[in-house]
Chain A
Amino acid sequence: MTGFLRRGRVALLAYALLVPAALVVFGVVLYPAGRALVISFFDVDSPFPGAYPFVGLKNYADILTGARFWTAAQHTLYFTLASTTLEVVLGLGLAHLLAAPIRLRWLFRGIVILPWALPTIVNGAMWRWILNAEYGALNALLTQLHVQGDYRSWLGSDPFVALNMVVVADVWKNTSLVAFFLLAGLQTIPGDLLEAARIDGAGPVRAFLRVTLPMLRPTLAAVLVLRIIEAFKVFDIIYVMTGGGPAGGTQTVTFLTYLQAFSAERFSYGAALAYVTVVAILLLALIYLRLLRQQELSVS
């Protein structure tokens, strides 16, 4: 009986301690999410409360049949694939460098994390200046190295070039995060495994492919999914660097969502667009959770 009472009290205390967090989650995540879902079935065209016509799934149908969404989806997909691939490949190399037993390793590790510590807005503004067509540092560098004859426009001449430049800015910022995830993974690989491989006659490439990579797989999978989810939601760097241009060539789904919701005041259409993104991200998150669970199982 006393044991039961104590358990009950502990549970009560647990709930009491959870209340603040629950309120925050409910207030800033679940409630707005639920409200946005409701709004997406109406035709809300003003920021004020009031009675708006119920339109059911019309907003979703409009999105899926509209050309603008699919163009934006293509840009998002390209951005996601290009940036995550580059980040993982470069991050893997960087992680190896940071794991190497060199002098002042702590300093290098500190420096490498800096880009990630920059707010995205600052990073975007910085790259906009670097890429400036009239006085950008990249143009100065390439011209002085005689790689190109004259200054050129990176963000205004060709939509595809501009999209790739946004990828570059994103990769510069996020590679360090990926590298640190992978560095943590690398450090869990026992040294004797690699030593054993070396004694068995495996070269560095073979040891990497046969030992490091398989052991790194869970970390790699987790960081890949996390980065894909983040890249999928890309907004602020686009807003700062290109504003969706030129010729709409860097407009992603979340940028279109913002334009529709706030610039065009089509709040319902924007909410529906946001939910299309949510569904895509939810699927990715499920994969992530499954991977985590596999990891937990393999550890225990």
Chain B
Amino acid sequence: MELFKLLAANEVVAQIISFLVLLAILRFLLWKPVLKMLDDRKAKIADDFKQIEDVKKEVAGLKAEYEENMSSIQEVAKEKMREAIDEGRKAAEAIKKDAQQSAKAIIDDAKVSIEIEVAKARINLKKDIVDLTIQATEEIVQQKLTEEQDRKLVMDFLDKMDNIEK
């Protein structure tokens, strides 16, 4: 009980009032605003981080889309190249075919020309042979027949020759 003499009731009451006043003032001036501000800041930081994450996701999405587009563009380019090559090949084939046809036509024309020339040459040759034969016959026979008779005679001879050749 001696210990309790150290206590002064009026001082205890005054100290309680002082503390409660301090608590009320600090609650208003310090704790509420600082805790609120810390919460706000935490919320803002969390919000900022969330925004950063959202932007990151958006960027990743755009990147994926870009890469997809790039790969599809490459595919399209390859397809176009393939088509161009095919078209080129087709054109080359067509040109080659045309050229072959042209060549064949030229060859055919040439063959026809050659046949005509051969025919002409044969006719000329026949004529020359006829002339030579007539001259030879004239010399052999020493008898001059009329030209009409000579010619008929030679032609008959040649026809016989042709028949023999065939």
The answer on A and B forming one complex is: no
Query: Interface of B with A (CB < 8 Å)?
Result: none
